[in-house]
A = this chain, B = another copy of it.
Amino acid sequence: MKATIYDVAREAGVSIAAVSQVMNGKGKISEERRAEILKTMERLNYQPSVIASALTGKKTYTLGLVVPDISNPFFAEIARAVEDQGHEMGYSLIICSTDNKDERVERYLTLLQQKSVDGMIIGTGMDNKDMLKPIMDRAIPVVMIAREMQDLALHTVVVDDFVGGRMSASHLIALGHKRMAILAEHSKVTSSRERVKGFLHTLGEAGITLSDTSVRNCSYTVENGKREALSLLEQPAAVRPTALFCCNDMLAIGALQAAKQLKLRVPEDVSVIGFDNTILASVTDPPLTTIAQPIEPMGKQVVDLLLMELKKRSQDKQRVVMRPELIVRQSTGAPATQG
C-alpha cells in the first residue's frame, strides 16, 4: 500500500508535523532530523498526496485547458505549449474538447470546478458567457487564449486577428486579385469575425467589395470547408472567385481539396490562403500560404498570466496581442485571367 505521512513519521520517529515541514521547507527543523526524515521518505518511497494537501486549502497544481478539439493541430500545438510551460512550474493539464458546444463547455466547466483546478485556460467559444460567471464568482482564475470574451474582465492572449485579416487581403490584392471569397468560422467565433473584418477593411480601402454570398460560415472541419468551397468554386469562371481567404488552415485544406476535385489549379485558377500556420500548412499540396500565429509564445504567455493571477488576484486584466506573420508558400499567386 501507499506510504502516508504517518508511516514516514513513525519510521523516522518524529511527528507528522515535522515531516510536513521538511516537505514544504517551512518551520525550523534541525539538520539531522531533516536528513533522517528525508532518508525515510526515500526508503519508503513516499509520495505525498496532492489530494490530501489540496483539501487542506492548498492548491491542486492542476490546470484546465478548454478548447474546441484537441485533435485539431492548432489546439494540439497550443496544448503542448501550455503543457510545457505549466509543467515547468509544476502544474498538470486536464484537456477538455468542447466541439464548440455549449452543453459540453458547461459540463467541462463544472467538472473542472469540482476537481478544484487552480485555474482555467479557455480557448473555446461559447454562446452563453454566463457560464463563466459562477467560476469567476468563486475566484477561480480564468484566462483566454486565441479567443476573446467581450464584456468580461479576463486576461487574454490573442494574435491580432484584424491585422492578420488585413495581411491576407494586402497579399491577395498585391497579387492582382479582385474577386475573392471568405471561408469563415461560425460567426460566434470572435477571432474569425475579426479576421473577416480586417480582410474586408483592407479590401474596402482598395475599393473592392464582396457580395454577401461570398462570405461563408463553416464549422472548423476540413469537410465543411470543402463543401462551402465547392459551392463557391462551382460557379462559372467569369464570376468564380480567384482567391479564397480561409479563417484557419483546416478550412484552407478543405478549399484545396475542393479545387482539386473541380480540377482547378492552385494558385493559377484559384489562390488559397489560410490562417494559423499549423503543421498542416507546410505539408499540403501545394504548401499553404497562411497567417502564422506565434503559438508557442502565446501558450507560454497565457500560463504566465494565469500563474501570476494565481499568486495574486489583480483587478486589472491584461490583453496581450501578438503580431501575426504572413507566411508565403505556394498556394497563392496572380490570377490567371483578369478578374
A residues lining the B interface (CB < 8 Å): 1-2, 45, 47-52, 54-55, 60-62, 69-73, 76-77, 79-80, 83-84, 92-97, 110-116, 134, 138, 222, 253, 256, 279-280, 283-287
Contacts and interface: CB of A to CB of B under 8 A. Distances in A.
Contacts of A115: 50-51, 60-62, 92
Given A70-B79, A92-B94, A92-B112, 14 more contacts: A47-B114, A50-B116, A62-B94, A70-B70, A70-B80, A71-B79, A71-B80, A71-B279, A83-B97, A84-B97, A256-B283, A283-B284, A284-B284, A285-B287
Nearest to A296: B71
A77 B76 CA distance: 9
Q: Chain copies in the assembly?
A: 2
B95 A48 contact: no
Contacts of A222: 279
A71 B73 contact: yes
Contact of A93 (B48, B83, B95, B256): B95
A47 B79 contact: no
A71 B84 CA distance: 11
Contacts of A60: 51, 115
Contacts of A1: 138
10 contacts: A48-B114, A51-B115, A62-B94, A70-B79, A70-B95, A71-B73, A73-B76, A92-B94, A280-B283, A283-B284
